[in-house]
Chains A and B, each alone.
Chain A
Amino acid sequence: KAGVTQTPRYLIKTRGQQVTLSCSPISGHRSVSWYQQTPGQGLQFLFEYFSETQRNKGNFPGRFSGRQFSNSRSEMNVSTLELGDSALYLCASSPGHQGATYGYTFGSGTRLTVV
């Protein structure tokens, strides 16, 4: 069974630009969550999509947005990039049944550097 695939693995962008990251979940999984990892802050929850709808949202500014397609693949977009957006962006997939006991499966992440 293929794992969670995130593309690209690395990205360098300039301040003010926008960026789109992609995540393909495990086949059959309907939930995709996005996290930002920065040194000292751990993994911070951005948002979760389930069946093309945003089901949960973290405390990030509106510059961070996402969407999910009918095949469960998800994209995350960051507009007007700031230096502080440099981070590892991780997505995680799960079947999506609320209240289930299993953990999420993470991809290897996209390392975004804003210069």
Chain B
Amino acid sequence: DQQVKQNSPSLSVQEGRISILNCDYTNSMFDYFLWYKKYPAEGPTFLISISSIKDKNEDGRFTVFLNKSAKHLSLHIVPSQPGDSAVYFCAYKTNTDKLIFGTGTRLQVFP
């Protein structure tokens, strides 16, 4: 029973273009959604979060959009850079502080 789904296991984008990573969820009881980025042989690193009361949060090249009616979350990276190549996980934080992760999307940014 996957409560957070990232339906695209991989995405390939040209450098300078926009990368859009998507996430769907089933549970409406959450406080925050978070995005994590993971390089091979390293732990995930926190990227950006969004509160359940907002529909957009921006931090530099990264913007997260939340559509509560569609239960859909997306991360936009503009412009994409080769260093952004990694696996991206979306996760939501429950009211008991558990993080429930999606299965991840591998982003490859090519020159």
Contacts and interface: CB of A to CB of B under 8 A. Distances in A.
Contacts of B43: 4, 90, 92, 106-109
Interface stretch (A14-22, A38-46, A62-70, A72-80): A38-46
A24 interface: no
B34 interface: yes
Contacts of A96: 97
Contacts of B2: 42
Given A35-B101, A43-B101, A106-B44, A101 B89 contact: no
Interface string A93-109: 01010111111111111
B34 A99 contact: no
Interface string B52-95: 00000000000000000000000000000000000001010001
Given A90-B44, A106-B45, A33 B102 contact: no
B1 to A, nearest CB: 9
B100 interface: yes
Interface in A81-99: 90, 92, 94, 96, 98-99
Given A4-B43, A108-B41, A45 B99 contact: yes
A45 B100 contact: yes
Contacts of B104: 42-43
B30 interface: no
Interface in B32-55: 32, 34, 36, 41-46, 49, 51
A56 B102 contact: no
B96 interface: yes
A49 B51 CA distance: 24
B101 A103 contact: no
B93 to A, nearest CB: 8
A101 B44 contact: no
Max chain A Cβ within 10 angstroms of own Cβ: one of B49, B91, B99:
B99
